[in-house]
Chains A and B, each alone.
Chain A
Amino acid sequence: MPRTIAELPEDIRRRYPYRSRFVRVNGRRMHYIDEGPPDARPVLLLHGNPAWGYLWRAVVPPLLDAGLRVVVPDMVGLGLSEKPHDHSAYTLDNHAANLVALLDALELRGATFVCHDWGGPTGLAALATRPQTASAVAVMSTWAWAEPWSQFHSRVLPWRLLHAPVVGPYLMGTRAAMPGRGMYLSVVDRERFAAEASAGYTEVMADADERAATWIWPRSIPLGRDTDIVAERFGWLEEQVRAMRLPATVIWGREDDVFTTDVFTRHWQQVWPHAEGPHLVTGRHFLQEDSGAEIGELLVDFVSRVNEGYNHG
């Protein structure tokens, strides 16, 4: 199993040519990159499941070209971070607390939090816990509440079957339904994804035991059932998020069929009436795969405007 970017195949390394760094978070090894001037305004790019920092590879260059500092962690269980076999490592609280530990370790201040998928609930929970670390926030294909939930997630076929007891570890763990085919189905340009990107995700979870997070983590998505395990945390999170008045922007994939624009961008606008957007770009759930550079430029524009007058350090 590769442990650093330098150990990955050349084709993947070339597309994500950064130095691997590690920090201990809650007893686990978290991989991250930290590029750009250390005293520049930081941008924190937060991925979800089953991605890793590689998802942001086309977003990073415009941010670095603009002179920003870019920090991209891999959530524990994914990418080049430690992949615990103990399923209890993958609770929403533990993931969020891992980000809090990262913020503390790097002593980040004035960061723009950019949250995608589970990067939303985890990143926003960390932000609520360490509000002094953030100056702005961007959200894309994510959520921070118990309701409304995604129709895609509430259907038996295929989503709930993918995570049903025994079936989930078979399809997602043994047979690697995610990240391979699952991500392929969640981009617009599938041919390009298969040719250029897919290996970057499958390479870092080549063995079944490394894929535990891919089927355990989605079981925390609240669906209004008695067995929802994090409804209380989502209740807390929504309350915190509704009270946030940081400069915010909403960026979404036009073709997103997981977190559909009609429900989710509308709800973000209701939660954050002051937010910019939604800026719609070509993309399904993994919109960075189709519009990474464009998202990078949108973020450069947003970060530059909301941080005018920022005093380095």
Chain B
Amino acid sequence: MAEAPLVQIVDQRPEGHRSVPLLEEHQLGHYPEFREFLSAAFGLAADPLGAPGLLCVAGRAYELVFVGYSGHPFPAGVRIAALVPGLEPLDERQALDDLWAIAMWLVGEVGGEWDTAALARTGRIYRITPQEER
């Protein structure tokens, strides 16, 4: 299996990049441990409506916009977008792989019963794997 790209939380939004929406999650509380991890990792308890969270996947930038819904603990959801320079088109295949890396990172960080090996196996069962493994 190819080594997963490094996913890191970063502070600096790259200049001159636009936000390309990729994925919306409206129910982080479906398994609250996911919400709790993101809240802690991005300091949302102290600053819930600050700038979006930023992730770097092997040098490529992604933005996490946290969403609130009345009656639900914050954040109720998250929108993940690729940050793409200028008006250059999104590299969709790369973005798909990076989302997979972000999913693996998230599952690994949440931990407990959530297991990256199980996610990798789920990916193989459903034929969803990074490009280099296809």
Contacts and interface: CB of A to CB of B under 8 A. Distances in A.
**Same assembly:** yes
Contacts of B24: 169
Contacts of A165: 25, 27-31, 34-35, 106
A169 B22 CA distance: 10
A271 interface: no
A159 to B, nearest CB: 9
A181 interface: yes
A62 B97 CA distance: 46
A157 interface: yes
Interface string A150-167: 000000111011111111
A167 to B, nearest CB: 5
B80 A171 contact: no
Interface stretch (A172-180, A250-258, A291-299): A172-180
A156 B113 CA distance: 8
Interface stretch (B3-11, B45-53, B81-89, B118-126): B118-126
Nearest to B29: A227
Contact of B26 (A87, A171, A177, A227): A87
A47 interface: no
Given A165-B27, A166-B25, A175 B128 contact: yes
A227 B23 contact: no
A166 B35 CA distance: 10
B61 interface: no
A158 B31 contact: no
B34 A174 contact: no
Contact of A171 (B22, B27, B122): B122
Given A174-B96, A182-B126, A219-B30, A157 B121 contact: yes
A157 B34 contact: no
Interface residues of A, number: 26
Interface residue SS majority, chain B: helix
Contacts of B102: 166
A170 B23 contact: yes
A158 B114 CA distance: 11
Given A164-B30, A164-B34, A166-B23, A185 B125 contact: yes
A170 B113 contact: no
B76 to A, nearest CB: 10
Contact of A164 (B22, B26, B31, B78): B31
B122 A162 contact: yes
Nearest to A159: B122
Contact of A169 (B23, B31, B118): B23
11 contacts: A87-B26, A157-B115, A163-B30, A165-B28, A165-B29, A165-B31, A165-B106, A170-B99, A171-B103, A181-B125, A227-B31
Given A161-B114, A161-B119, A174-B99, 6 more contacts: A158-B118, A161-B118, A164-B30, A164-B107, A166-B78, A171-B126
